[in-house]
Amino acid sequence: MNMNRGNMNNAHPRRMTQQRRAILDAVARLGCHPTADQVFEMVRREMPKVSLSTVYRNLGILAEQGDILPVRGYGDEVHYDHNTHEHYHGICRICGRMIDLPADTVKASAMSDEWRERDGFEAEEIVVTVTGICSGCLNATQKG
Ligand SMILES: [Zn+2]
Ligand SMILES: [Zn+2]
C-alpha cells in the first residue's frame, strides 16, 4: 500500500499496530482535518470493538511521531491533519470547515527577518490560523 507520506526512509521503523494503522488511514481518507470523533466513527465501521479513548490515545501517539499534525480548530476542538508539510489554516466561522492555505502565501521568512531586526526575537515556529467564511457558506449566504 502506498501511504504517500513523503519521508519513508526512516532509520527506525515505527511500531505500528493494526489499530494505529487503521486510525492513520482514517485521518488520510477523511482528508479535511477530521476531529477525533470523526476518526472514531470511521474506524468503528471496520473495527467495531475500538473505543473512543483508544482512538484518542493513538491519535496522540501518531501526532508525537509526526505522522499527523494536531491543529486547533474553531473553539477548542482539535483536528488532525494528514498533511504534515508546512502550511497554514483557514477556518470557516459558519460551518467550522478547515482548509489548507499554502505556506508560500504567508511570508514567514520575511516576517521573522523583520522581528529579528526590530526586537532581536528569533522565531522558531509560526502558526497561522485565519478565520473567515468558506466558499460553500459564502455561496449559500448570497443565494439567500
Ligand atoms: Zn463554511
Ligand atoms: Zn492542513
Q: What pLDDT shows up at residue 23?
A: 97
> Residue 82: is its pLDDT beyond 80?
yes
pLDDT tier, 9 (very low <50, low <70, confident <90, very high otherwise) = very low
How far away, in angstroms, is 141 Cα from ligand 1 center?
A: 10
pLDDT, tens only, 99-140 = 999 888 888 888 899 999 999 999 988 888 899 999 999 999
| Residues in the 5 Å CB sphere of ion ligand 2 | 81, 83, 100
Distance CA 29, CA 1 (A): 14
- Cα distances from 79 to residues 20, 33, 97, 123, in angstroms, run 17, 5, 10, 24
How far away, in angstroms, is 29 Cα from ligand 2 center?
A: 14
> Residue 42: is its pLDDT beyond 90?
yes
Averaged pLDDT for residues 31-52: 94
How far away, in angstroms, is 115 Cα from ligand 1 center?
A: 33
Query: Please, which residues bridge with residue 80 across strands?
Result: 70
How far away, in angstroms, is 97 Cα from ligand 1 center?
A: 6
Give me the chain's average pLDDT, please.
87
DSSP per residue over 31-56, as a string? Answer: -S--BHHHHHHHHHHH-TT--HHHHH
**Residue 71 CB contacts under 8 Å (≥ 6 apart), including other chains:** 33, 78, 79, 80, 81, 89, 98, 129
Select the more confidently predicted residue: 114 or 8.
114
Distance CA 43, CA 54 (A): 11
> Residue 39: is its pLDDT beyond 70?
yes
* In the chain, domain spans: 1-83, 86-144
Domain 1-83: top CATH class? mainly alpha
Distance CA 31, CA 95 (A): 16
> Residue 14: is its pLDDT beyond 70?
no
The CATH code of domain 86-144 reads 3.30.1490.190
> Residue 144: is its pLDDT beyond 80?
no
C-alpha cell recorded at residue 126: 509560526
